[in-house]
């Protein structure tokens, strides 16, 4: 008799009925709707963003942890569980939901005016309106304070100039949340798609996150009215609060990718014969599986602990950094180790492990590199900043 990965530590006993129910719904959706197509989407570098967004919206996954405006008002842990199930299929699909809900929608929900919330959030919750989040620039990723995109006043309007890079959903977006440097400090703006001077170009030739729309945004004397500015955001704390929301989803999501790799490897070694017996029957195989299961279990427990802290309103940025650093790092190592168990079959799209590993290479560096999170934790423990 074998034990399911989820049962090894009785993780289900730690989840509330609502969390188990939404997990089952999304898991079934992933198996029936997403998994049959994901290898094709990854290989083609194309994903039906608008079609999937409306389906995610019908399931109530977009902005599900936000309150009002058609959002789900679910627990943070329930949102995390959803991220885990989506990333078990592919990191790009979790990223689509994360960018929509935890970056673009969260920015409007947290920093926007009531008029901005009423205008944009209901449509974004249903998936009829696609959003993106423009912070990273060609020369400034880990150091957003150095951004060169500028906003200057011109009468009662603002003029935006600059560019943003690696923007998920950018070329599909109906609205972009854009961060720019002004005399007043770092400000956020709601920029509708189609605004004069605003262009988005899809980025190609990626080896990772291929089942995700990634774009470069350009702003050439984009004129915006005063009511396009996010009134509640001033300084880097505005975009950084949004990043912390997105990182929280990654803490859970990366566990999903690792779980899918490990389950694939366990299934494979049970049927693959080497020297006249299943690969699963060799001690070194079982040592690898056991070690991976231990790291996966610890990552699951860490994610759930942080989910409960967030639901209690007590989570701190360094704790999110702790989770992102550990869980993505361990998920990537699990994906690589599982690839070795599959041998040459592990490099094909017939199996998900190398696709997950390629994706996790991006997840390791976006929303804060491992080095950034190490310094966040280091500063929390020593009281000394090492960023400059």
Please list the active-site residues.
Answer: 367
Beta strands in the chain (DSSP E): 131-134, 150-154, 157-168, 175-182, 185-192, 198-202, 214-225, 273-274, 277-278
Can you tell me the distance from the alpha carbon of 350 to that of 370, in angstroms, rounded to the nearest whole number?
A: 30
Can you tell me the distance from the alpha carbon of 220 to that of 375, in angstroms, rounded to the nearest whole number?
A: 35
Can you tell me the distance from the alpha carbon of 334 to that of 255, in angstroms, rounded to the nearest whole number?
A: 10
Instruction: For residue 37, count CB atoms less than 10 angstroms from its CB and return exposed for 0-12, middle for 13-18, buried for 19 or more.
Output: middle
Residue whose tokens read 């491992």: 370
10 Å Cβ neighbour count for 158? 21
The 10 Å CB-count burial string (b at 16+, else e) for 315-354 is bebebbbbbbbbbbbbbbbbbbbbbebbeeebeeeebbbb
Can you tell me the distance from the alpha carbon of 173 to that of 100, in angstroms, rounded to the nearest whole number?
A: 10
Q: Tokens standing for 180?
A: 């720019």
Can you tell me the distance from the alpha carbon of 287 to that of 293, in angstroms, rounded to the nearest whole number?
A: 10
Q: Tokens standing for 249?
A: 């989803």
């Amino acid at each position: 008799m074998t034990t399911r990965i989820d049962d090894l530590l009785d993780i289900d006993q730690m989840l509330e009925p609502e969390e188990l129910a939404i997990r089952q719904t999304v898991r079934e959706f992933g198996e029936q709707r997403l998994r049959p197509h994901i290898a094709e989407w990854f290989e083609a570098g194309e994903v039906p963003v608008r079609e999937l967004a409306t389906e995610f919206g019908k399931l109530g996954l977009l902005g599900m942890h936000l309150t009002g405006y058609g959002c789900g008002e679910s627990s943070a842990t329930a949102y995390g569980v959803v991220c885990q199930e989506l990333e078990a299929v592919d990191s790009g699909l979790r990223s689509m939901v994360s960018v929509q809900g935890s970056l673009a929608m969260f920015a409007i929900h947290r920093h926007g005016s009531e008029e901005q919330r009423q205008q944009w959030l209901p449509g974004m919750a249903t998936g009829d309106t696609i959003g993106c989040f423009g912070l990273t620039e060609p020369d400034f990723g880990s150091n957003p304070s150095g951004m060169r995109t500028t906003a200057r006043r011109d009468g009662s309007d603002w003029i935006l100039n600059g560019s943003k890079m690696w923007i998920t959903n950018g070329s599909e977006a109906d609205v972009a949340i854009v961060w720019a440097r002004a005399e007043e400090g770092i400000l956020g703006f709601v920029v509708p798609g189609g605004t004069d001077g605003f262009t988005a170009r899809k980025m190609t030739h990626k080896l990772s996150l291929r089942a995700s729309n990634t774009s470069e945004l350009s702003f050439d004397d984009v004129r915006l009215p005063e009511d396009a500015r996010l009134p509640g955001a001033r300084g880097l704390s505005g975009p950084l609060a949004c990043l912390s929301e997105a990182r929280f989803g990654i803490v859970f999501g990366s566990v999903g990718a690792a779980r899918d790799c490990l389950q694939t490897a366990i299934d494979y070694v049970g049927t693959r014969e080497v020297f006249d017996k299943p690969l699963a029957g060799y001690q070194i195989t079982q040592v690898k599986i056991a070690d991976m299961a231990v790291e996966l279990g610890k990552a699951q427990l860490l994610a759930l602990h942080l989910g409960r802290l967030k639901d209690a309103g007590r989570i701190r940025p360094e704790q999110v950094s702790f989770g992102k650093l550990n869980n993505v790092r361990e998920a990537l190592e699990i994906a690589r180790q599982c690839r070795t168990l599959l041998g040459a079959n592990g490099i094909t799209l017939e199996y998900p492990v190398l696709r997950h590993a390629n994706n996790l290479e991006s997840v390791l560096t976006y929303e804060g590199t491992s080095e950034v999170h190490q310094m966040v934790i280091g500063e929390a423990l020593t009281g000394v900043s090492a960023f400059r």
